[in-house]
Amino acid sequence: MRQKLEKQIEDLGPWFQNMAIAGVETAPDHFLGNYPAFKWEGFRHVIPEDLGGRSVLDIGCNAGFYSVEMKRRNAGRVVGIDADPHYLAQARFVAEQCGLDIEFRQLSVYDVAKLEERFDLVIFMGVFYHLRHPLLALDLIHEHVAADMMLFQSLQRGDGRIPDLGEDYPFSEWAMFEDPAYPKLFFVEERYAADPTNWFIPNRAAVEAMLRSAGFIIERHPEREVYLCRRGARHYAAEPPPGE
């Protein structure tokens, strides 16, 4: 029986998420170690131990690690989406082996309106920096699927400070852009870490500014790259600039 399981896991490889299925690990030699379980340990306390039947959407679910964890915390409806059918096959296999009722669909974050449903908790982990249109993704999540909370994570590089910025500056202002802590998105023209899907890598100030701009209120920051946000109102300018 174990040999059959090992063969099934091998046939579904390669795996990016290391998950233990009946004692068999899917990616025991992961270059990051026991990933993503070791990262989950650093912020799992911000999610209630009992989700009380609340609905969850896992965007960019990969092999379904977070979908499984939410179901184990008594989530009701859990939907995982990913653009890659390879990962979805892994996720469906894991859910079946664990005896968990989780729905998986092949959709990208840009397709979330097709779900025609809002979720109590949206998980948006490890996707942001793989997007050519990251702010659009946040806007779509806010507009179409987030009902209350969002657990967000993005790779970050650059300065980790939050600058003290004004609401507005004159066109002649240059100095603020020279501040290393100013909100920045580093554009990856070719690839980063041998991955051609890495596009924009934000610094901390950019992550927090973009979340606010899309209408999310940061409630907890349990780990350097992780935020628990609540859906709030979108930020719009009070009035258009003169001449527009």
Query: Which amino acid, one-letter code, is at 232?
Result: G
Residue 144 is classified by DSSP as I
Q: Which of 139-143, 165-169, 223-227, 237-241 has the lowest mean pLDDT?
A: 237-241
The structure's pTM equals 0.94
Query: Which amino acid, one-letter code, is at 129?
Result: Y
- In the chain, the percentage of residues whose pLDDT exceeds 90 is 95
Contact 136, 110 (CB under 8 A): yes
pLDDT mean over 184-212: 96
pLDDT digits (tens, 9 = 90+) for 111-163: 999 999 999 999 999 999 999 999 999 999 999 999 999 999 999 999 999 99
pLDDT digits (tens, 9 = 90+) for 167-193: 899 999 999 999 999 999 999 999 999
Confidence band (pLDDT; 50, 70, 90) for 1?
confident
Q: Does the structure show a pLDDT above 60 at 240?
A: no
Nearest to 112 by CA among 95, 127, 90: 127
> Residue 81 corresponds to which tokens in the numbers above?
């989406």
Q: Does the structure show a pLDDT above 80 at 244?
A: no
